[in-house]
Structure 1
Amino acid sequence: MMPLIRPTNDKAYAENLICQNMAVYHKQLNMCWDPALFAKDWGELDSYELVINASRVGLLCINHDENAYYIRELQIDPQWQRQGLGSKAIRYVIETAQQADVNLIRLRVFCINPAIALYERMGFRVRKTEGETHYMERSIKETGNLVK
């Protein structure tokens, strides 16, 4: 199933989905959600909603510099997880980076997040770990086994 990936300015939807999906990790890591930091960061991101049959099913937030594209948020509604939407969103970022002639994609993920397996299947590798966070990246030129 191929989602429509379109720009969004709906900060409330984004914040709600992120809080919902990340609550278990925040609790396990004894972290608190920072709405002020989210509000500040929101204005600096290119944000997209994933839509299937006119229903929003996910969120993708990216930014970039001359060296890399950064996946800052990739959140899929729990009812739609494990259906390939995360892979499709990552491929969207890969295509966007290729068009901009940028060769790296980077992201951060909590060490306890099972999404690490998805990122590894999509060619990301852990470059460093600080505290409870993995810093991962992949080269666009890497064409390993990408999930279809």
Structure 2
Amino acid sequence: MNLEWRAATAGDIGFARKLTCRNMLAYYLQHDLLWQDEAFDLAWIIRQNWIIYRGDRPLGFVSLSRDARALYIRELQIDEAFRGQGVGTWAIGQVWQMVALERRPALRLTVFKNNPARVLYERMGLRVVGEDECFLRMERDASA
């Protein structure tokens, strides 16, 4: 598959914002939520972000945060042209390695209830641990 990732730079924010908006806007509209570029930009600044590549082409990105309880995938965005090719599986595998290296208790994320990415997350060992009106909270315990 020849995938790799590198730490995002300030110059990557435009790529990440555009990809996220393109991928997520339909969910925002379905759930009557407001997409705000400014909110994305503020979140980007405080998170650890990784750009996923094949060769010299960016395919997507992962955005992470941490606390004492877990490593959190805040965003996992893959360009639609590259979905279903193992990119998401690879990215979650990379993040899971970080969980182990950092000795975090768990990997957590939140996903829209109607997002088909839920199937990928379940296949990668994450389980639904809570929900609200439009989101599922998912977790994989590091000791499991």
The reply to whether TM is greater than 0.5 is yes
Aligned equivalent of 1:84:
86
Paired position in structure 2 for 1:6 = 6
Unaligned stretches of 5+ residues in structure 1: 143-148
- The residue that corresponds to 2:123 in the other structure is 121
Of 20, 23, 26 in structure 2, the residue corresponding to residue 24 of structure 1 is 26
Which amino acid in 2 is paired with 1:39?
A: D
> Considering only aligned residues, what root-mean-square deviation do their CA atoms show, in Å?
1.0
The alignment partner of 2:39 has SS state of helix
Corresponding residue for residue 34 of structure 1 = 36
Q: Is the 8 A contact 2:2 2:55 kept in 1?
A: no
CA contact (8 A) 1:126 1:136 kept: yes
Q: Distance between the aligned counterparts of 1:2 and 1:114, measured in 2?
A: 25
Question: Post-superposition shift, 1:15?
Answer: 0.2
What does residue 71 of structure 1 align with? Answer: 73
Match for residue 135 of structure 2 among 112, 133, 140: 133
> What is the identity, as a one-letter code, of the residue corresponding to 1:5?
W
Counterpart CA distance in 2 for 1:126 and 1:77 is 25
For residues 119 and 44 of structure 2, the distance between their equivalents in structure 1, rounded to whole angstroms, comes to 27
Q: Is 1:68–1:104's contact at 8 Å kept on the other side of the alignment?
A: yes
- Opposite residue 19 of structure 1, the aligned amino acid is C
How many residues are treated as equivalent by the alignment?
Answer: 142
How big is the shift at 1:30? 2.0
Q: Which has the higher helix share?
A: 2
TM-score by length of 2: 0.94
Give the Å deviation of 1:27: 2.0
CA distance in 2, matches of 1:45, 1:3: 22
Runs of 4 or more, structure 1, over 6 Å off, are none
SS at match of 2:46: coil
Q: Partners of 1:39 and 1:63 in 2: how far apart? A: 15
Contact 1:2–1:88, Cα closer than 8 Å, also in 2? no
Q: TM-score, normalising length from structure 1?
A: 0.92
Distance in 2 (alpha carbons) for counterparts of 1:15 and 1:75: 10
